[in-house]
Amino acid sequence: MKILVAVKRVLDYNVKARVKSDQSGVDLSNVKMSMNPFCEIAVEEAVRMKEKGLAEEIITVSIGPSQAQETLRTSLAMGADRSILIEIDENVEPLAVAKLLKGVVEKESPNLVIMGKQSIDGDNNQTGQMLAALLGWGQGTFASKVEKDGDQLKVTREVDGGLETVGLKLPAVVTTDLRLNEPRYASLPNIMKAKKKPLDTMAPSDFGVDVSPRVVTLKVTEPPKREAGIKVESVEQLVDKLQNEAKVI
């Protein structure tokens, strides 16, 4: 089985995001960037499946600027076999990402696509579902457990009411949730080995995909600062303020 894993380069989750002075977007200059945490989980799950003998090859793919090669090298150090970078400097919307990934799937013919359920920058939670729809494949989203059962996958999903288990015929698309696994740290020897693993660079034009944006960002602002709370002397005073000032009851 061949597994394709999509990964994204995002602002590191430990870094506090700052809005540009012109309010055109988030300031990414001179800040630490890293692999999206949900994508790390996706890579880890693919590597674990290969260690169990369920997969022969893991390919990671990223769409972004040339600096995204660092993110792909991290995935190679974690255990992926080779990588593909679709190089583009502009921001790419989820539908365009799904179309580009569809092109990679048609080129590589994987049996399974694994990706994070969402990225921590856009928080769109759309690409996996769009890719499955474009390919006509089954999908298991928000996966907290993945098991291979013959020629099927059993995916346990986290839903509002608890857990739901679905059976997917391969090929399929799986998006990962936080509780699926704990990603490993790349060891120094594996980091050195990753430098010699294949990393191909392509362009959106290679797949005939129009990546021009359909949505225009008018303004980005920081959320308003929270005001300090007040102390009340009694339950009666609390109820009075909730009724007459906050008007929530």
Q: In a 3-state reduction of DSSP, which class is residue 217? A: coil
Residue 204 DSSP one-character state? G
* CA end-to-end span of the chain: 57
Give the domain extent around 56: 2-223
Within a domain: 172? yes
Instruction: Answer yes or no: pTM beyond 0.85.
Output: yes
Within a domain: 248? no
Within a domain: 14? yes
Look at the chain and report how many structural domains it folds into: 1
Within a domain: 157? yes
Please state, for a pLDDT cut of 70, what percent of the chain lies above it.
Answer: 100
Q: pLDDT band for position 10 (50/70/90)?
A: very high
Over 90: is that where the pLDDT of 42 sits? Answer: yes
Within a domain: 203? yes
Q: At what angle do helices 127-135 and 94-108 cross, to 10 degrees?
A: 50
CB distance 55 to 170 below 8 Å: no
25-41 confidence digits (pLDDT tens): 888 888 999 999 999 99
Helix (H) or strand (E) holding 108: helix 94-108
Within a domain: 235? no
User: How many C-beta neighbours within 10 Å does residue 139 have?
Assistant: 20
CATH of the domain at 205: 3.40.50.620
The pLDDT assigned to 109 comes to: 95
Residue 152 has φ and ψ, to the nearest 5°, of -120, 160
What is the Cα–Cα distance from 211 to 100, expressed in whole angstroms?
Answer: 9
The pLDDT assigned to 226 comes to: 85
What is the Cα–Cα distance from 47 to 57, expressed in whole angstroms?
Answer: 9
122-160 confidence digits (pLDDT tens): 899 999 999 999 999 999 999 999 999 888 899 999 888
Within a domain: 147? yes
Within a domain: 163? yes
